[in-house]
Structure formats: C-alpha cells, structure tokens
C-alpha cells in the first residue's frame, strides 16, 4: 500500500510513523486500499473544503475523499487540548476515522456499525 503525507508536519509523529499507522489501521479494519494521501491543512483551507463539498461554512477536523484524507491540524490541536491528550494521539484518532470513511463506512447513514468498528480498530491499534 502506498501512503503519501503532505502539508503541515505533526509534532512527535513523523511521516514514516503516520504511514505505518495507516497500514496498521487497515490491517485492524481488515480493509484494503491501494493508495491513500493524507494532507494536513489549516482551518481556512479546511473551512473552504467543507463549504465546497459539504455546504457547511465552518472548519471540521477530518474530511475523507476517495483517495485522500484531509485533517485540520489546528482543529486537531484544539481537540487534543480539550481531550487532554497529545496532538499525535488526536491525529491518530482522526486517521482511524478517515480510513474507515475511505473504506466506505458512513456513520451518518448507518445503524452505528462505523462507530462500533472504530472502537474495535482503536483497541487493535492501541488507542483504547
């Protein structure tokens, strides 16, 4: 599996570690994706994407497109602070969420299956 990482660097989480984590999430979810890009962006960029693709004029933490996961590093930082864990941990949570969307899961339209799977995958990759 090919993983490309772009955008802002994540403190205490190298691009190599991010790529390895994506692969471990896919194994834990028993999913297969040939190629995936992860882009770390600022809130302004995320807000523009959210407005364009979801018609929501605000930032969000993660958006998933067919071959790409986009994460707002600023929103992730705020969420990490609120949850009292590191930015690296929050980014890992968002990667799990994004990968499951990339695999076709949709918590907005299912009966809780994605949320259940997300909790199982978190445990399998050591984020419980």
- For the chain, the structural domain boundaries read 2-123
Encoded tokens for 128: 């419980």
**What percent of the chain is modeled with pLDDT above 90?**
90
Q: Which CATH number fits domain 2-123: 1.10.10.60, 3.10.20.30, 3.30.450.90, 3.40.390.30?
A: 3.40.390.30
The region, left, alpha or beta by phi > 0 then psi within -120 to 50, assigned to residue 104 is left
Q: How many CB atoms lie within 10 A of CB 112?
A: 8
The predicted-structure confidence for 18-70, as pLDDT tens digits, reads as follows 999 999 999 999 999 999 999 999 999 999 999 999 999 999 999 999 899 99
Q: Which of 61, 64, 62, 59 is nearest to 48 (CA)?
A: 59
The predicted-structure confidence for 68-121, as pLDDT tens digits, reads as follows 999 999 999 999 999 999 999 999 999 999 999 999 999 988 888 999 999 999
Whole-prediction pTM: 0.95
């Amino acid at each position: 599996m090919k993983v490309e990482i772009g955008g802002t660097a994540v403190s205490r989480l190298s691009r190599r570690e991010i790529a390895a984590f994506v692969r471990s999430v896919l194994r834990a979810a028993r999913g297969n994706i040939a190629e995936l890009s992860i882009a770390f962006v600022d809130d302004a960029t995320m807000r523009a994407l959210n407005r364009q693709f979801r018609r929501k004029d605000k930032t969000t933490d993660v958006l998933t497109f067919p071959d790409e996961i986009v994460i707002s590093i600023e929103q992730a930082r705020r969420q990490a602070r609120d949850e009292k864990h590191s930015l690296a941990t929050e980014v890992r949570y968002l990667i799990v969420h994004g990968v499951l969307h990339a695999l076709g899961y949709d918590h907005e339209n299912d009966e809780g299956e994605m949320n259940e799977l997300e909790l199982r995958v978190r445990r399998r990759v050591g984020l419980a």
